[in-house]
Amino acid sequence: MLVDTLFPTDYQLHLFHEGTLYESHQLFGAHVVVEDGKVFTRFCVWAPNAEVVRLVGDFNDWNGEGYTLHRVNNEGVWFIQLDEDMQGALYKYEIKTKEGKVLLKADPYSFFSELRPNTASIVYSLEGYQWNDSKWMQKKEKKQIFSEPAVIYEVHLGSWKKKKDGSLLSYKELADELIPYAVDHGFTHIELLPVIEHPLDASWGYQGTGYYSATSRYGTPHEFMYFVDQCHQHGIGVILDWVPGHFCKDAHGLYQFDGTYLYEYETEDDRENRVWGTANFDLGKNEVQSFLISNAVFWMENYHIDGFRVDAVANIIYWPNRNGEMENPFGVRFLQNLNKVVSQYDPSFLMMAEDSTDWPQVTSPVHYGGLGFHYKWNMGWMNDVLTYMETAPDKRPAVHGKMTFSLLYAFTENFVLPLSHDEVVHGKKSLLDKMPGDYWQKFAQFRLLLGYMIAHPGKKLLFMGSELGQFSEWKDKEQLDWHLLDYEMHNKANDYLKELIKVYKRSKPLYELDHLHDGFEWIDVNNARQSIFSFIRKGTKEDDFLVIICNFTPALYHDYRIGVPKQGSYREIFNSDSESFGGANCINKKVLKTEEIEFHGKPFSLKMSIPPFGISILRPVKHRKERKGNGKEKMRSHAVSRREREQA
């Protein structure tokens, strides 16, 4: 018997075809439902160009006779209701095209999938998990992320750590091991490479088939919920790498779903992503917008995810295969719609754009003409800094501008500084091995690189394994080189990062005004000859500031004069050359007192020791009287989004 309440409503169908059914996963896919004490399972799929659609699976020996779906409307929505509980059943849609070809397709809206290399969808109810993260969710609503510290640990679950037999850890095992590890290091967020279902391990999840299906490689959807829940209970946010631009072309997936180019662009040049061998979503199609924006809402609602890093934004805002010359208006509108909808569902949800272009206002609100992201990955900073670091120290004066250029635009957007997986794979070398020089110099410059990242305006992201000081680049089929912690210099490098993050999180000048000009001031930007950079980071309180000095050469200096903004005493609160980190221990133990000697354009100055390949952080010594009545600096910025979001 057909139950009317299970049937798609005209209103749902109207919104879906309009591109505004933002919870389309509640209509499409497989759903076990109870009506009047009876259990039913309904299936709904969009295949407008199909001649016939049948449901096949292990429940009917993959024979679709008697399981033909009913075509609901002219726009191609198909529906079937079975009078039984199909929980756990394997299934696919058998689609007969108008040309007579028969396709076997996984459900685009499936919540669970067979373990690869098998490709069937699985009927799975997401109901029943008891969340215990209410404190986190309440706290998150009150957070002002723009003025708080953020250090993101980017992780590929399949190669962070493996069992002794080489098999993958489960979501629950990862919760038991990865989360305490992240907490111990001080990371604020874990960012996961895509966890949507995907057929090929080597794609790292970037070429997906099941956008609503948490990959079965590591367990069930409920077990992934447990992982997220445990992250939240331990104070760690969870960000997913999300890929709304393109998908893989495997036969069971979205590609030519009903025998035609349905989810992808029809024109070959727009459709084919020749770099990755994938197909680009047709972002001008309303139903595709409903599919993708619903997917964002789905992860927010069902898995309590805290943010997305949106992959390959350049491939969305510009037409592919046209050399980045032509704007794709469909892609731009999609991103604006996406960010508006996400913000309406959860204003605290973080949206981060991995964008390598100079597109303006990526992080400005949509109503100001922006794309509406909270953050943009600063790819320019990453490329410039790594180019500079890979340059031999005696050649660095010639590329001095690589280290200063980012401050010309650092406050035009809200930036994340990424040292991600893309920089330590495919022959690019690990971060440590990029550093020139001998063994000691490599570690010293590695510490300096991380210190400079922490001191530079912007939130921070570091790919897994970097904290170990790996000499080998990322090997996605193997676990991290955990044995390195048995070696002194690697163990000290790991301790160094922990201490560096501690200093960052307890030093407001390093994060409070990340996106405002008021939070940064150069002391000496032009010392190319010695490759020494010095600058000030400021907090909201007038007397809350830090002086940072970075030496990118092996030269050691004593009695080096630095200009400072205020008279008094300064204490070195951090030095990367400390013996405890593997350095030569050229540190400033004593309090440094200023002299009334103008230097570097500042009214006062002091003398200090400058370690080789080192970063020093100085804090003014505050006396009891000075701690009262601190006024706030006036804040001005071209980055409108921070103020707008705080007022929203």
Q: How far is CA 3 from the centre of its chain?
A: 43
The backbone region for 269, taken as left when phi is positive above 0, alpha when psi lies in -120 to 50, beta otherwise, is alpha
How far apart, in Å, are the Cα atoms of 54 and each of 47, 262, 442?
11, 18, 61
Instruction: Establish whether 354 is a catalytic residue.
Output: yes
CB atoms within 10 A of CB 593: 13
Instruction: Establish whether 311 is a catalytic residue.
Output: yes
Rounded to the nearest 5 degrees, what angle is found at the Cα of 383, between the Cα atoms of 380 and 388?
120
Helices (H), 97-220: 134-142, 157-160, 171-185
Kindly give the pairing relationship between strand 38-46 and strand 29-35. Answer: antiparallel
In the chain, the N- to C-terminal Cα span, in Å, equals 49
CB atoms within 10 A of CB 449: 25
Buried/exposed code over 148-178 (b: 16+ C-beta within 10 A; e: otherwise): ebbbbbbbbbbbbbbeeeeebbbbbbbbeeb
Query: Rounded CA gap, 396 and 456, in Å?
Result: 19
Residue among 354, 384, 512, 544 flagged as catalytic: 354
- What are the two backbone dihedrals, phi and then psi, of residue 485, each rounded to the nearest 5 degrees? -65, -10
Residue among 264, 311, 413, 572 flagged as catalytic: 311
Give the DSSP per-residue string, 233-283. Answer: HTT-EEEEEE--SEE---TTSSTTTTSS--SB-SSHHHHEETTTTEEEB-T
Rounded to the nearest 5 degrees, what angle is found at the Cα of 463, between the Cα atoms of 459 and 468?
115
Closest to 475 measured CA to CA, from 117, 165, 171, 166:
166
Residues 6+ apart with CB under 8 A from 514: 146, 147, 414, 415, 457, 458, 459
Residue type, 525: V
Residues 6+ apart with CB under 8 A from 127: none
Residue type, 39: V
Buried/exposed code over 69-80 (b: 16+ C-beta within 10 A; e: otherwise): bebbeeebbbbb
- Report the side by side order of strands in the sheet with 77-82: 29-35, 38-46, 77-82, 70-71
Residue type, 390: E
Which SS3 state, helix, strand or coil, does residue 310 take? strand
Query: Rounded CA gap, 270 and 154, in Å?
Result: 31
Contact (Cβ atoms closer than 8 angstroms) between residue 281 and residue 244:
yes
Query: Rounded CA gap, 85 and 106, in Å?
Result: 20
Cis? peptide before 221, omega within 30° of 0: no
Catalytic residue numbers? Answer: 311, 354
